[in-house]
Structure 1
Amino acid sequence: MQKHFSHHHGLVPVDVKAEDEMLCSGCELSLSGSAFACPHSDYRCKFYLHESCFRLPREIQHESHPEHPLKLLSFAPYDESAFTCTVCPRSGNAFVHNCSICQFDLHVE
């Protein structure tokens, strides 16, 4: 079982089939292949992460916002817990690269 900053339970590696029609709790995209899941997902938590989302660095420097590093958050730091990507019009309710100084948000894709 492995810990991830975004979830209070440990996560276990799983192989997800496309026909399971699951969404990644990090990027909110369809999930298939190697992933991590909460072992309590059958009855309480519906928490799954692509392996790539599980391994995202906690801080990045991105060319679209060279002034400050962006921190990976499990949800947007706003009252409504949603964000709109500053670079494209896509919105989200899950993982976001965020600059708290500039209120700059970048989705994890």
Structure 2
Amino acid sequence: MAFFDQYASRLNEAAIKHLSDGLCTYHPVPNAADVIDVPYQFDNDFEVIDENGLGRKVKTLLVPVAKVGEVDRRAEFTVNGRRWRYGSIVEDDGAFVRIEVT
């Protein structure tokens, strides 16, 4: 089983590298070390449905959990020179987390 896990991990890494929009910098919390070269996918028009069933368009970043860990609500991301603040977790499947950014 260890061979399959290694193969799956390498396959995920290759997919992330080729399907990402680029690399960003993750700023976990103030006075913590930054995480550089985090692959991301930016979505400028993602629809979120609230508890009342109403949809709204938000901006999101999809990043691998292996690189960012548990994202703190004070976190920020630098993408192409622009700094985005954490808004909320939109999706989390354990491997990737989609974060609403403002």
Q: TM-score normalised by the shorter chain: which range applies?
A: under 0.3
Higher RCO (CA 8 Å, separation ≥ 6 residues): 2
Structure with bigger strand share is: 2
TM-score (ref. length: structure 2):
0.22
